[in-house]
Chains A and B, each alone.
Chain A
Amino acid sequence: MKTATLNKSDIGKCIDLLLQSDLRVIAPRLIPRLDEDGTDSIDVLTFTEVDSGDDHQVGEGLLPLNGVKEFLFAKHEPLFAYEKRGKKIEIIPVHHEYPQTVIIGVRPCDAASIASLESVFSDANAGFEDPFFTERRSRTTFVTYSCTAPDASCFCTSVNLAPDSAKGSDLHLTELGDGRLHVEVLTEAGEAVANKLETLLEGEGDQAAREKAGATVHEKLTRLRNSAPIMDWLMDTANFDDEMWERLGEKCIGCGACTFVCPTCHCFDIVDENKGSKGYRIKFWDSCQFDHFTLHASGHNPRDWQFKRYRNRFNCKFKIYPEKFETPGCVGCGRCIRACPVNLDITEYMAEVAHKAANPNAMKADPDFE
């Protein structure tokens, strides 16, 4: 593995060099607000396209609200257009642009989630290929950045990841604490980016200092859960009807916030947007938290109440996903915890399951619940 160092203050210059090579660059940016006089807003950090190295927050803030998912799995996109002519329907292909892209400043949890999306959308793993996803994926390079200040909702270390993990990265940056970044070139795509930044990269990286810097951040994580017993417990079908689901899930209001912010959630719906005799078939994000997600045409809904929908989300992350794929169902980013308006916390479920696995008849949150 090739390593180097880079001055943190040169990130803007890196972005400019990438832009000069006609690459689309996406980085965390603060969205300007209407004014600053109200308290009802927080700083909105999102991954957005940048047009100059002056305006970015790479390495600042924690997680952009949106994550990188939307740049691979679009929020909405037309699959094709159609036109009815008499009794015939003509299918018209829609042209999609897939610009060569570098996403810079991606945190390790988000980087790890890319492989999870690939499991679902790419041929090798799913036996099916979503060409929109794979086209974008093959043209996107991820420049990742170790965390320095995880918050109270982060729990990557509880799902076998780490705040300095380079999983899913093409080129990984870690702050050494002295204004320098340790650079790890991990893939060919990362190498191609490194070549463009050649004038800014110096010598060899300091691997020992990088390991040390990473380790200090591990200690800052406070939300620690044991995810080891979860899958086994979920695999026991008797537990599917455990009373815990209803009791823990009753406050869930069924918004899709947790799923839409989740970097590994990948559910979508398809609809025809029709205008007269022509239209588009559109694919767009969906959520298992919606009451009509599994509604059958007959009117029957196997997930008829909200706690069952939340049960599905938990099972999706910790049973269905790991059973089918080798990639993580949950990367511990904590976005769903930050986003949930009623503080329904996935790690509370994790703790409850671990407790249940050890004490089958007792519920942690409500010890004498019958």
Chain B
Amino acid sequence: MIEQIRNQARKLLEDGDVDVVIGYAEGSDPSRTTPVFIRKAKDVDKLIYDPRCINSLPLYLNKRHEYTRKGWKKTAIIGKGCDIRAIVQLIAENQLKRDEIYILGVPCEGQVSHPEKWDGSLHDGNRATKCIGCDVMTPHETDFFPGTKPDVDRSSPYEVTSPKVANLMELELDKRFAFWRTDFDRCFKCYACREVCPHCSCNVCITDETTPSWIDPAAHKKGVFSWHLTRAMHLVGRCTGCGECTRACPMDIQVDLFNQRMKEVVQESYSYKPGYSLEDKHPLITYQVDDREDFIK
């Protein structure tokens, strides 16, 4: 399969159809892979694809990465289904135009959550939670796909939410708060959870604003809670569930539990899940008379 991808990437670069191919290459130790930008046809053999390729590469298509993107008129990108959801959302948010990219879709059986858990194969013990109920293992929006795409029904069910979200929601409020207090105690506000998110697009994040300073920048309880709650709210209806924020957190704080819960709220309220169709209307920027409003208290 990777041979077909490499061949297509080679052809695209040779024909001058794209300036760069964004994909995965071997990382600096056997359990890791790394994003790679291939600019020359002869380098396409660096491209790899296996269950260690969990990174969401569409991050680099966000306008925030304008310097990296400079000179790339047309970009090819290797995309798993969830990455393509991120791409669709980036297009919806005008970060990117559909004709600026060429999507090399790849089938996906799931990805390993952490390099520490890579033991040579993917199994139930190391599969990322986002992959357990994934409904885009065969990607939905592609320009090239090795083999033929089976016609899959994506109408239901919604992708599975981590069981931890349900566990948390069952806890009494004070216990739930205690959970976050313990975890947030480790947060030192490195903002890896923000920088790795394909949809954190702001050139100046609200937490970095100084006049006025909306969110205390220090990593004390107030600074940390206000940062995380704001981050979660800013991604409502936009988060495509890539789980990168949790994966990137060097203190292993599962910040995407917030985003997963908000995803449920959006699904319950608007039967909407972001990143599936270029034709979608986005609930937070469209109004319909039958919109429910009972959650506004």
Contact B116 A257 (CB under 8 A): no
Contact A152 B31 (CB under 8 A): yes
Q: A253 near B: Cβ within 8 Å?
A: yes
Contact B248 A255 (CB under 8 A): yes
Q: B280 near A: Cβ within 8 Å?
A: no
* Across-interface contacts of B27 in A (CB, < 8 A): 343, 345
Instruction: Given A253-B195, A255-B248, A256-B191, check contact A337 B28 (CB 8 Å).
Output: yes
Instruction: Given A255-B190, A255-B196, A343-B32, check contact A261 B250 (CB 8 Å).
Output: yes
- Bound Cα distance A305, B64 (Å): 11
* Across-interface contacts of A204 in B (CB, < 8 A): none
- Bound Cα distance A282, B213 (Å): 13
* Across-interface contacts of A34 in B (CB, < 8 A): 164, 167-168, 179
* Across-interface contacts of B190 in A (CB, < 8 A): 255-257, 259-261, 287
* Across-interface contacts of A322 in B (CB, < 8 A): none
Q: Which residues of B189-244 have CB atoms within 8 Å of chain A's CB atoms?
A: 189-192, 194-196, 204, 208, 213, 216-220, 223, 243-244
Instruction: Given A34-B164, A254-B195, check contact A42 B186 (CB 8 Å).
Output: no
* Across-interface contacts of A66 in B (CB, < 8 A): 186, 251
Contact B252 A42 (CB under 8 A): yes
**How many residues of B are in contact with the other chain, CB < 8 A?**
62
Contact A39 B128 (CB under 8 A): yes
Q: B263 near A: Cβ within 8 Å?
A: no
Contact B192 A347 (CB under 8 A): no
- Bound Cα distance A284, B129 (Å): 34
Contact A42 B28 (CB under 8 A): no
Binds A, one of B7-15, B33-41, B98-106, B269-277: B33-41
Q: How large is the interface on A (under 10, 10 to 19, 20 to 34, 35 or more residues)?
A: 35 or more
* Across-interface contacts of A196 in B (CB, < 8 A): none
Q: A348 near B: Cβ within 8 Å?
A: yes
Contact B186 A269 (CB under 8 A): no
* Across-interface contacts of B130 in A (CB, < 8 A): 40
* Across-interface contacts of A39 in B (CB, < 8 A): 113, 117, 124-129
Instruction: Given A34-B179, A40-B129, check contact A273 B218 (CB 8 Å).
Output: yes
Contact A285 B219 (CB under 8 A): yes
Q: A219 near B: Cβ within 8 Å?
A: no
- Bound Cα distance A75, B220 (Å): 8
Contact A44 B167 (CB under 8 A): no
What's the minimum C-beta distance from A118 to chain B, rounded to whole angstroms?
A: 21
Instruction: Given A257-B248, A306-B67, A337-B28, check contact A75 B194 (CB 8 Å).
Output: no
Contact B129 A38 (CB under 8 A): yes
- Bound Cα distance A31, B30 (Å): 28
- Bound Cα distance A348, B188 (Å): 26
Contact A38 B55 (CB under 8 A): no
Contact B196 A253 (CB under 8 A): yes
Contact A40 B28 (CB under 8 A): no
Contact A285 B164 (CB under 8 A): no
- Bound Cα distance A255, B204 (Å): 14
- Bound Cα distance A271, B215 (Å): 12
Q: B147 near A: Cβ within 8 Å?
A: no
Q: List the A residue with the shortest CB-CB distance to B249.
A: A257
- Mask for B84-109, Cβ within 8 A of A = 1, else 0? 00000000000000000000000000
* Across-interface contacts of B164 in A (CB, < 8 A): 34-35, 37-38
Contact A348 B28 (CB under 8 A): yes
Q: Which residues of B42-86 have CB atoms within 8 Å of chain A's CB atoms?
A: 55, 59-60, 65, 67-68
Q: Which residues of B123-167 have CB atoms within 8 Å of chain A's CB atoms?
A: 124-130, 162-164, 167
* Across-interface contacts of A250 in B (CB, < 8 A): 37, 68
Q: B261 near A: Cβ within 8 Å?
A: no
Q: List the B residue with the shortest CB-CB distance to A347.
A: B28
* Across-interface contacts of B28 in A (CB, < 8 A): 337, 343, 345, 347-348
- Mask for A20-42, Cβ within 8 A of B = 1, else 0? 00000000000100110111111
Partner of A152, one of B30, B65, B220: B30
What's the minimum C-beta distance from A34 to chain B, rounded to whole angstroms?
A: 6
Q: List the A residue with the shortest CB-CB distance to B204.
A: A292
Contact A253 B188 (CB under 8 A): no
Instruction: Given A38-B163, A75-B188, A152-B29, check contact A257 B250 (CB 8 Å).
Output: yes
13 A–B contacts, CB within 8 A, in A order: A40-B246, A70-B188, A250-B37, A251-B36, A255-B194, A271-B216, A282-B218, A284-B223, A290-B191, A306-B67, A341-B192, A343-B27, A348-B28
The 10 A-B residue pairs with the shortest CB-CB distance, nearest first, are: A255-B192, A284-B218, A76-B218, A343-B34, A341-B248, A255-B195, A339-B250, A256-B190, A345-B28, A260-B190
Given A34-B164, A253-B196, A343-B28, 8 more A-B residue pairs with CB atoms under 8 Å apart are A37-B164, A46-B186, A75-B220, A76-B223, A255-B191, A257-B248, A271-B213, A305-B67
